[in-house]
């Protein structure tokens, strides 16, 4: 930053003051009668609208959330220390909004769109209301383009399309955030804007996430919205809406956006706190009656716009934390019913070493094949059925060893698939890598290896292809389809690898 001398600063200030024109206009004012827990009750400002921003005497803003006959309840979007009984409140006539613009890319901001990463103010292109109506029916088109997460288990079996809403659900410590993070890392160079919304998380967790994003050069196309656990419930409540307003700014420019809400259970808790303080009646699990609408109106804003509107999209990956695997709790069932599918993560799988701990049976993507490239569709073929059969068979296999050859073959194949689906953190796979892995699995290339060796063999397999068949990989990535010629070529390469490398290393158990 260039240095400015004190004389210059003073002259700027003098200029500002000289040019300051006082416009005395009518203002509607009220006064605070009660304040506490981030909520203020105001007497007066009788014409305030729901969701309007009001300004307290000390400059702090509030948002009107409750309109009664004689008084207005509003949430305080800032520090409430200096607000006391009798503090004057002025209407602004504006609904809550945040500044938006391209300059937000690469920044960490709070719920009000103010920078919190110490890199200075952010230049805004425009101002958008945080609560926007979702695109209508005519404004949308169906989801048809995949958004690759780089995670084999997801891209092969539960593909996510651009404009889809796919819930990531699971207990604590099952790798929910990691899946979302991997999905963000995989968007590098694909012209997708990624927005990560942290709701009620520890600052240290967010700092670690930002560090990871920076380390893998993902901050250039990402924005992190942070409402930490120390922020007030009102800020935690508005942050996903504010982040979506920024996402819509990019979407209406025709760009694709991936937005991760981490997590909506904490968001519901923040809203519950607000609602109880605003004296709204508690319902099931003490959540207010409109907690479904809270999330449905947020997630409904994810969409794939029609070509007439630029064809941009917002893909939403909401995260919900369950308690002891209880997906039948209030918030999980709500969000499951709102989204177009869910990725269900399980603690048991996670601790048995299956990472990502995706439960193949309970996870689903309701958009399905429409959001898969032809290449992936062909390569993934029967993987879901194979795995389902494997799980069924596995239970029986525990009881007796007297199995016929077909069953044993199915078990071996299933086990190798499970091993192949394991993937370390921050190692997204490209489309071509996923396709050749699936093709090799389809060819039973890994079936007769012991489970412990598959991981190593997989690494070698990918290295071999990168070294000897780079052109083939490029072609798959480019064409995104698999004709018979290409398929045969892959199969040939797989066979060569299998014969050459594996015999040499004598990895076969036989």
Q: Which of 95, 140, 297, 366 is catalytic?
A: 366
165 is an active site residue: no
- Based on the number of CB atoms within 10 Å of its own CB, is 200 exposed (0-12), middle (13-18) or buried (19 or more)? buried
470 CB neighbour count, 10 Å cutoff: 11
- Site size for other proteins, by CB under 8 A? 20
Of the two residues 29 and 278, which places its CB atom closer to other proteins in the complex?
29
Of the two residues 56 and 196, which places its CB atom closer to other proteins in the complex?
56
Of the two residues 89 and 185, which places its CB atom closer to other proteins in the complex?
89
The least CB distance from residue 121 to other proteins, in Å, is 9
The three-state secondary structure class of 73 is: strand
Name residues whose C-beta falls within 8 Å of residue 271's C-beta, 6 or more positions apart in sequence. 233, 237, 287, 288, 291, 294
Which two three-digit tokens encode residue 253? 């420019």
Site for other proteins in 38-67 (CB under 8 A): 44-47, 57, 59
**Backbone CA torsion sign across 172, 173, 176, 180:** positive
Name residues whose C-beta falls within 8 Å of residue 348's C-beta, 6 or more positions apart in sequence. none
Site for other proteins in 375-404 (CB under 8 A): none
CB 422 within 8 A of CB 477: no
Of the two residues 96 and 421, which places its CB atom closer to other proteins in the complex?
96
Alpha carbons 230 and 251: distance in angstroms, whole number: 31
Of the two residues 49 and 470, which places its CB atom closer to other proteins in the complex?
49
The least CB distance from residue 46 to other proteins, in Å, is 6
The least CB distance from residue 13 to other proteins, in Å, is 8
By rule CB under 8 A, what string of x and - marks binding of each residue 6-45 to other proteins?
-------x--xx--x-x-xxxxxxx-------------xx
CB 295 within 8 A of CB 335: yes
Which two three-digit tokens encode residue 311? 């064809």
Alpha carbons 46 and 51: distance in angstroms, whole number: 14
Which two three-digit tokens encode residue 43? 């007497």
Site for other proteins in 69-128 (CB under 8 A): 69-70
Which residues in this chain contact other proteins in the complex, by CB under 8 A?
Answer: 13, 16-17, 20, 22, 24-30, 44-47, 57, 59, 69-70
Residues designated as active site: 366
């Amino acid at each position: 930053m260039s240095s400015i001398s004190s004389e210059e600063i003073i002259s700027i200030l003098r200029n500002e003051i000289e040019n300051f024109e006082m416009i005395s206009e009518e203002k509607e004012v009220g006064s605070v009668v009660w304040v506490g827990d981030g909520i203020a009750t105001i007497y007066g400002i009788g014409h305030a609208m729901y969701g309007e921003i009001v300004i307290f005497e000390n400059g702090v803003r509030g948002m009107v959330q409750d309109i009664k006959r004689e008084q207005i309840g509003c949430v305080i979007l800032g520090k409430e220390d200096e607000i006391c009984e009798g503090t004057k409140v002025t209407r602004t006539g504006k609904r809550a909004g945040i500044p938006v613009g391209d300059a937000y890319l690469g920044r960490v901001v709070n719920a009000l769109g103010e920078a919190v990463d110490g890199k200075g103010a952010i230049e805004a292109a425009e101002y958008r209301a945080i609560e926007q109506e979702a695109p209508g029916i005519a404004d949308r088109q169906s989801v048809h383009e995949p958004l690759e997460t780089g995670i084999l288990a997801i891209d092969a079996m539960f593909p996510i399309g651009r404009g889809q809403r796919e819930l990531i659900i699971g207990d604590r410590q099952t790798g929910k955030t990691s899946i979302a993070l991997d999905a963000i890392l995989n968007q590098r160079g694909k012209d997708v804007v990624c927005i990560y919304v942290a709701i009620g998380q520890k600052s240290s967790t967010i700092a670690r996430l930002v560090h990871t994003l920076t380390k893998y050069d993902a901050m250039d196309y990402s924005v992190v919205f942070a409402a930490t656990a120390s922020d007030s419930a009102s800020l935690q409540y508005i942050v996903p809406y504010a982040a979506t307003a920024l996402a819509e700014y990019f979407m209406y420019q025709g760009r694709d956006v991936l937005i991760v809400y981490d997590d909506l259970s904490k968001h519901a808790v923040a809203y519950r706190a607000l609602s109880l303080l605003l004296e709204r009646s508690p319902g099931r699990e003490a959540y207010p009656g409109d907690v479904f609408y809270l999330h449905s109106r947020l997630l409904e804003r994810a969409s794939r716009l029609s070509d007439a509107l630029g064809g941009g999209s917002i893909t939403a990956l909401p995260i919900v934390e369950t308690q002891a695997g209880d997906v039948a709790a209030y918030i999980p069932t709500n969000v499951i019913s709102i989204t177009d599918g869910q990725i269900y993560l399980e603690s048991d799988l996670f601790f048995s070493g299956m990472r990502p701990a995706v439960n193949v049976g309970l996870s689903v993507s309701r958009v399905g094949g429409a959001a898969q490239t032809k290449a992936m569709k062909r390569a993934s073929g029967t993987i879901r059925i194979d795995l389902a059969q494997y799980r069924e068979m596995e239970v029986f296999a525990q009881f007796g060893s007297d199995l016929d050859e077909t069953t044993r073959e199915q078990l071996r194949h299933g086990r190798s698939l499970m091993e192949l689906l394991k993937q370390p953190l921050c190692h997204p796979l490209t489309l071509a890598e996923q396709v050749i892995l699936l093709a090799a699995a389809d060819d039973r290339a890994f079936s007769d290896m012991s489970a412990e060796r598959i991981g190593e063999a997989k690494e070698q397999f990918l290295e071999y292809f990168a070294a000897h068949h780079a052109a083939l990989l490029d072609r798959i990535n480019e064409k995104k389809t698999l004709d018979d010629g290409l398929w045969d070529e892959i199969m040939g390469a797989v066979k060569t690898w299998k014969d050459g490398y594996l015999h040499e290393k004598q990895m076969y158990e036989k």
